[in-house]
Structure 1
Amino acid sequence: MERSYIMKMVCETAISKEVEIRQVAFECLVSIASTYYEKLEPYMQALFELTSNAVKGDEEAVALQAIEFWSSICDEEIELQEYENPESGDSEPPNSHFIEKALSSLVPMLLETLLKQEEDQDQDDSIWNLSMAGGTCLGLVARTVGDAIVPLVMPFIEANISKPDWHCREAATYAFGSILEGPTIDKLTPLVHAGLDFMLKAMKDENNHVRDTTAWTLSRIFELLHCPASGFSVISSENIRQVLSVLMESINDTPNVAEKVCGAIYYLAQGYEDAVPSSSLLTPFLTEIITYLIRTADRTDGGDSKLRSSAYETLNEVIRCSNVVETSRIIEHLLPVIMNKLEQTLQLQIVSTDDREKQGDLQASLCGVLQVIIQKLSSTDETKSIILQEADKIMTLFLRVFACRSSTVHEEAMLAIGALAYACGPNFENYMREFYPYLEMGLQNFEEYQVCSITVGVVGDICRALDDKVLQFCDGIMKHLLNDLGSNELHRSVKPPIFSCFGDIALAIGEHFERYVSYAVTAMQQASQICAQIDLNDEEFMEYGNQLRRSIFEAYSGILQGFKNSKPEVMLPYAAHLLQFIELVFLDRQRDESVTKAAVAVMGDLADALGPNTKLLFRDRAFYIEFLGECLQSDDEQLKETATWTQGMIGRVMVS
């Protein structure tokens, strides 16, 4: 009733004499854009004029909010496109295509903002200014309208890319990098092929800002247009040497440019991840890339160590995506180098809190690299022996890292230990006595809940490695896990991993899980009641509910399989409640596919483990017939396979 009056007042206030009032008026418009998108049609002409005037001539604080208005409209329309009916092109609520209608005026306005850079903007990414906001909005417009943006932006790029003024060259490069996500590969590939040489030459531009933005644009090109496994890539055997030689030279540039170069190498390596069975074009250059990245990580001019962590993250990706058959020797030689670096951090004299923080960051990065090396070399039987030979030394290092943290546990070291447990298998028992106190410390770390969550995951890794050898530690582990579930201090995101962990423990120790079963299942039943109260309008809570349901099913599966060969009758009292819970999940039409898979799998485990004892239960709850029918018609082969197996298990029970 009052909508038009409210809009009139907000628009009038947006041209107030006071800057702060104009700014807040535009903040209102941003909020209206995202909350009442479907009501905006009658006001859009006036809003375009208001925002356009603000972007072109108002104070920066006001202009930023005016750009934010269009970014919000893009966000809404991108989301509406996801729910669009492919046949009719209709979406609910209807997509008004405001961006498409305003495109010919909106894009030139945004391109103008790209020329308003600040002299020091590359040095500090936290400074949000007009050119950054304009570029971000331009990227969102590209995602909203796709191919239609290209002819509007290319003339700007061509006119500015070679001008003497660095502002023009940087703006042209930024515009190119901004529109790479959205248009089709067919539309972009010829432009990128034509522009790649130019970009590589621009890495030697006299201006730091231009080099910085060029490196960022190259990383965007490699991220979005380099996917050999899908049959398209701007990188070929003809140009890879030239590309890498430019990147290796530019990684020695100022820290802000070097950091973006690390990003470019990161995405270049990532492109070969799925092409692993075949040879990677990076393999011949791997030793050189690793050498340069380690040298970059050792630089002392990296400021707040942002460059160092970027170099190590890139090193991890290069190792992770390499072809282990071709590169195992190189990775084997890298292992002692990283171990030595970690040992050096343990010998540092720590004087101040700042030093301790830097030491912690460096240890985290090095433990992260060791984790990736362990995982890579453990992936084949031929290379696993390399890790087994070094396991004692590696574990000693990790324990020393924990010891110098006093009250907290290093999450990166904990993750690396999980990888080592997987590699060592039953031999990991040798380290459990010394490691167990730190495992307990991690499980009790309510404040740093990510550490707690990671530690729970590592318990699962250890159970899979040790099988029944983990039994001697289970009383303590189960006590901590049950305490965690009962605590109001613990972040809710840790609860699903704990339930999955029950399944891992039960699988490892089999019939010995009987002493914990009543406590574990009671906790699972209480959690299943929370799942029944999920608010379907709360996306975040729905996602959490899906995680919770999936983990409860995983727990039941592990427990049922653990008892199957020795004491299946232990689970009989809980079977009816489990089937009731599965039915509740079946009735939820918005359930996640991963939840469906877990529910169908546990139904099969129930029939498999308890056999004829479940005949009456299945007869009374015939929903399973419809549920399996739905799954057997799915396009997901894995789900079909699971449903077929479950159908066989229940069929066997019904004829028994």
Structure 2
Amino acid sequence: MNSASLVHVLERTISSDKNERQTAQQYLEQGMHSNTPEFIKALSDVLANSGNSAVVRMAAGLQIKNALISKDQIVKEQLQQRWLAFTEDTRQYIKGNVLKSLGTETRMPSSAAQCVAFIAVIELPLGRWPDLINILCSNIINDASSDNLQQASLEALGYICQDVDFNCILVHSNNILTAIVHGMRKGSSNHYVGFAATTALFNSLEFTKANFEKEMERNYLMEVVCEATQFKDPQIRVVALQCLVKIMSLYYEYMDTYMAQALFPITMEAIKSNIDEIALQGIEFWSNVCDEEISLAMEDNEEDFGQPSSSMSRSYAKGALQYLVSILMQKLTQQEEFDDEDEWNPSKAASVCLLLLVSCCGKDILTYVLPFVKDNIKHPDWRYRDAALLAFGSVLRGIEEEVLKSVIENAMPTIIELMYDSSVAVRDTAAWTIGQICENAAESATNPVFLKSLLEAMVHGLKAEPRVAANVCWAFVELAKGSYDDASVHDSTNEPTTYCLSQYFDFLVEKLLETTARPDGAQAKLRLASYEALMEMIKNSPRDCYPTVQKTTLIILERLNHILAVGDVQQRYDRAEMINLQGLLCATLQSVLGKVKSEDAPKISDQIMTALLQMFISNSEQAGNVHEEAMRAVTALIEVLGEKFIKYMDSFKPFLLSGLKNHSEHQVCLASVGVVADLCRELKVGIMPYCDEVMTLLWQNLTDSAVHRSIKPQILSLLGDIALAIGPAYEKYLDVVFTILVQASQIQVDRDDYDMVDYLNDLRESILSAYSGIIQGMTTEKTVSPMEAHIPYILEFIKTVAIDNDINDDVTCACVALIGDLCTVFRSQIVPKFDMNVINNILHQARRSSITKTKNYGRWVTRELRKLTRPSW
């Protein structure tokens, strides 16, 4: 394809004619596949030719970018390897063209800047293109450079700072900062250059640590950023404020010098701004301050820290409280009645900041919030009533109930009254505030003085607009939990006989069932919220509400059968709604089965299992949520039926095995693993006829790299559950299982990645549990012998775990339990094989644990070891 043809095709990529666009895209894909290096060279020629139209040059840049980068990590690596396979001459030619294009485009942002950055992402980590940063910096600080060249070079530098590992460009950090500051200084006269420079600074702040540690350099940088917050151009001001927000997170410990004189007045003024984007950044700054100070407070209270924290809280939030709260209250009054739920605005940001201030400053905030609430909760303007409610609800979280009790009792009649307000926004916030009261001060919510009128208002709210009704449903969730937790328990069942909602329970469940069937249930996620409320009401019900539980079980089962009888629906929307409804019904079925008495379960189990099997049959594997919830419903049925579930095993087995194979929907696979674990616990040796097929699938999952990593720890733990269930019959699996466990115990992870350290702990806990299950399950005189060969591996793993400083309490508990199992089975013959320094150390940790279970295991194993090591007389 010659240059003229390529230009013609690129022009067609933005044609209004769909067929022309598709044809052009096909030509471009053909050209890219037929000779990629030459085609990208040709594209770079089009980009570099200033005689081409802005549209064509932008389209050429987009094609080059797409040839270098992808959101998919695997494709991205393939594209990078393809680029590196080009000849040196080809790569230099393309790089020369994209650099030459900088500053010659008339449309911004610069396509050439993006191309430069994406090539840099590939080459800089490999030590290639060593002069790039110097070229860009020179373009920026050179007074002879055009504004366009400075802007495009700053954009490229910003992209590079954002996307390249900062260690690759750390050596250039001073030059980069010099160039960026030069651009920011120019921002007062050229806002395009200033915006590009300030954005570049925002992207480079992570690797300026060395500069922030030096007072002179830090002062200069802070001066430049603070100046930029005062520029006339709103875009620059927004990004400069974003820089301050980020600086507060990264360099909190250095901010004392600047807080009173600069940061406080700048951010307060920003919050007052009528430009939403500026106000949002001012609020975000103080939300970030709260986040930092909450984290520092948690560190200070953590007993396990062996040394003092590297940073201490300066209590900026508490110092700003009286000024900040007043401004935030005003922002709360700037909402609109029908604000887009997903649109972030200063009013919503102020509400979040208020919640963080409560967590950070505690009851001190009440001094500044309650007068506003008192003055405005009956204000003629709905915005002020709504703001007062929102402020009141926000301060309930994190403050002791005793402090709030009298305040809530005084406010409750008014809050109930506002559930009938003429404004939908006020009713919505009133419902949310009631939920906050139920969650954080349940005793006040269930006060007999208010309970009847409160419930009447909530039931009235269930008929209101979906957004209001959804918040009422959440309030019912919290009310159910609080009422159940506060109920008196008089026997060993830990289940109360009655509670404050008992006399209303049947009526409330009926109204929630009506809400789940509302035709507008898809709005504001009302159907989901109402089913969740129904589930929590059932789950948190006392014994005198059991007749309603029985009735609800039959209603849910009837609904499930009805939805299955409807069959396939042609419209995709209806089909999706049906799948969601099936999932919700299954989840609700789990809740009601959890309350059904074991003697009543067999009366309805045939109907339930028939419905669940029909769900497995009628839904494809793509309906992952339905399969997952159906599996969990099976789990609930297993738990209530116990060994009587065996009658369903043959009909259920195909779907269980299918679930274990379902790697594409890993939550389904996880739920299926959980079902097998429950079957082992309830059926015991009854699971044996199904073990060969199950074990085969478990091994396949463990050895398949495509299987989601979250599944593997659960499978490893399940290997022990199966051993506990079938006992000596497990011997035929023993060698393979131990090989798998040894391999799993050798896995290493990046210790700087906290997620991977957590995963390693999960893996180790599961391995330890598996060893315990196998040892307990196979404890007979006949089967002790085959296990002895594996003892050295178990002891080595215990040692590896015990000396690791990154293990959590769950791993400690599992490790100590395994030591106890070894002592119980192998008695005195195991003791000489222990490394007693290691064993004593982890037992000491267990005994000092704040978790009762771990502490008890530590004490038990310590006593057992003393018995085994005590001299016999």
Instruction: Give the TM-score normalised by structure 1.
Output: 0.93
Which region of structure 1 is more displaced relative to structure 2, 609-618 or 107-116?
Answer: 609-618
Q: Secondary structure at the match of 1:447?
A: coil
Give, as a single letter, the amino acid of the residue that structure 1 aligns with 2:778.
F
Q: Quick one: which of 502, 510, 516 aligns to 2:719?
A: 502
Structure with the bigger RCO (C-alpha within 8 Å, sep 6+) is: 1
1:466 matched to 2:705? The reply is: no
Q: Quick one: which of 399, 402, 423 aligns to 1:207?
A: 423
Q: Distance in 2 between matches of 1:90 and 1:101?
A: 24
Give, as a single letter, the amino acid of the residue that structure 2 aligns with 1:26.
L
Task: Give the aligned partner of residue 513 of structure 2.
Answer: 294
Segments of 4+ in structure 1 off by > 6 A?
86-90
1:387 matched to 2:604? The reply is: no
Q: Distance in 2 between matches of 1:150 and 1:211?
A: 23
1:101 matched to 2:312? The reply is: no
Residues 391 and 420 in structure 1, CA contact (< 8 A), matched pair in contact too: yes
Q: Distance in 2 between matches of 1:163 and 1:272?
A: 33
Shift of 1:119: 2.9
- Aligned residues: CA RMSD: 2.2
Shift of 1:254: 0.9
Cα displacement string for residues 203-261 of structure 1 (whole angstroms, at most 9, x for unaligned residues): 011110000001001100100111xxxxx544223332221111112211111101111
What aligned pairs does 1:206-225 form with structure 2 within 5 A after superposition?
206-225=422-441
Which region of structure 1 is more displaced relative to structure 2, 290-299 or 178-187?
Answer: 178-187
Give, as a single letter, the amino acid of the residue that structure 1 aligns with 2:651.
E
Which region of structure 1 is more displaced relative to structure 2, 7-16 or 406-415?
Answer: 7-16
Task: Give the aligned partner of residue 776 of structure 2.
Answer: 561
Q: Distance in 2 between matches of 1:579 and 1:233?
A: 54
Q: Distance in 2 between matches of 1:578 and 1:644?
A: 22
Task: Give the aligned partner of residue 307 of structure 1.
Answer: 526
Task: Give the aligned partner of residue 255 of structure 1.
Answer: 466
Which region of structure 1 is more displaced relative to structure 2, 29-38 or 362-371?
Answer: 29-38
Shift of 1:396: 0.6
Q: Distance in 1 between matches of 2:455 and 2:612?
A: 34
Task: Give the aligned partner of residue 594 of structure 1.
Answer: 810
Task: Give the aligned partner of residue 8 of structure 1.
Answer: 223
Q: Quick one: which of 228, 245, 255 aligns to 1:30?
A: 245
Q: Distance in 2 between matches of 1:569 and 1:7?
A: 71
Q: Quick one: which of 6, 18, 30 aligns to 2:233?
A: 18
Cα displacement string for residues 123-148 of structure 1 (whole angstroms, at most 9, x for unaligned residues): x4212111110011011011100011
Residues 83 and 92 in structure 1, CA contact (< 8 A), matched pair in contact too: no
Q: Distance in 2 between matches of 1:406 and 1:506?
A: 33
1:352 matched to 2:566? The reply is: no
Do the aligned partners of residues 519 and 538 (structure 1) sit closer, same or farther apart at CA in structure 2, a change above 3 Å counting? same
Task: Give the aligned partner of residue 229 of structure 1.
Answer: none
What aligned pairs does 1:233-632 form with structure 2 within 5 A after superposition?
233-275=444-486, 277=489, 278=496, 279-304=498-523, 306-323=525-542, 325-348=543-566, 349-377=568-596, 383-408=597-622, 409=624, 410-530=627-747, 533=749, 535=751, 537-565=752-780, 566-618=782-834, 620-632=835-847
Residues 614 and 653 in structure 1, CA contact (< 8 A), matched pair in contact too: no
Cα displacement string for residues 625-648 of structure 1 (whole angstroms, at most 9, x for unaligned residues): 343244335554433432233234
Give, as a single letter, the amino acid of the residue that structure 1 aligns with 2:769.
E
Do the aligned partners of residues 70 and 625 (structure 1) sit closer, same or farther apart at CA in structure 2, a change above 3 Å counting? same
Shift of 1:482: 1.7
Cα displacement string for residues 425-459 of structure 1 (whole angstroms, at most 9, x for unaligned residues): 22222212222222122222222222221211111
Instruction: Give the TM-score normalised by structure 2.
Output: 0.71
Task: Give the aligned partner of residue 380 of structure 1.
Answer: none
Structure 1: segments with no counterpart, 5+ residues: 227-231, 378-382
Residues 817 and 861 in structure 2, CA contact (< 8 A), matched pair in contact too: yes
Shift of 1:18: 3.0
Which region of structure 1 is more displaced relative to structure 2, 179-188 or 636-645?
Answer: 636-645
Residues 10 and 28 in structure 1, CA contact (< 8 A), matched pair in contact too: yes
Q: Distance in 1 between matches of 2:349 and 2:849?
A: 43
Q: Distance in 2 between matches of 1:622 and 1:49?
A: 59
Which region of structure 1 is more displaced relative to structure 2, 629-638 or 282-291?
Answer: 629-638
Q: Distance in 1 between matches of 2:706 and 2:221?
A: 43
Task: Give the aligned partner of residue 99 of structure 2.
Answer: none
Shift of 1:624: 1.7
Give, as a single letter, the amino acid of the residue that structure 1 aligns with 2:354.
L
Cα displacement string for residues 29-53 of structure 1 (whole angstroms, at most 9, x for unaligned residues): 2222222222222222312222222
Do the aligned partners of residues 58 and 86 (structure 1) sit closer, same or farther apart at CA in structure 2, a change above 3 Å counting? same
1:170 matched to 2:386? The reply is: yes
Task: Give the aligned partner of residue 282 of structure 2.
Answer: 66
Q: Distance in 1 between matches of 2:705 and 2:282?
A: 43
Residues 564 and 610 in structure 1, CA contact (< 8 A), matched pair in contact too: no
Residues 114 and 131 in structure 1, CA contact (< 8 A), matched pair in contact too: yes
Shift of 1:652: 4.9
Shift of 1:654: 4.1
Do the aligned partners of residues 396 and 44 (structure 1) sit closer, same or farther apart at CA in structure 2, a change above 3 Å counting? same
Q: Distance in 2 between matches of 1:204 and 1:305?
A: 20
Percent identity reads 36
In terms of Rg, which structure is larger? Answer: 2
Task: Give the aligned partner of residue 369 of structure 2.
Answer: 153
Q: Secondary structure at the match of 2:449?
A: coil
Shift of 1:649: 3.7
Task: Give the aligned partner of residue 19 of structure 2.
Answer: none
Cα displacement string for residues 583-603 of structure 1 (whole angstroms, at most 9, x for unaligned residues): 232223453222221111111
Q: Distance in 2 between matches of 1:368 and 1:202?
A: 33
Structure 2: segments with no counterpart, 5+ residues: 1-210, 212-216, 490-495
Do the aligned partners of residues 221 and 586 (structure 1) sit closer, same or farther apart at CA in structure 2, a change above 3 Å counting? same
Give, as a single letter, the amino acid of the residue that structure 2 aligns with 1:258.
A
Q: Secondary structure at the match of 1:93?
A: coil
Q: Distance in 2 between matches of 1:437 and 1:449?
A: 18
Q: Distance in 2 between matches of 1:633 and 1:90?
A: 21
Q: Distance in 2 between matches of 1:314 and 1:105?
A: 39
Shift of 1:516: 2.1
Q: Secondary structure at the match of 2:594?
A: helix
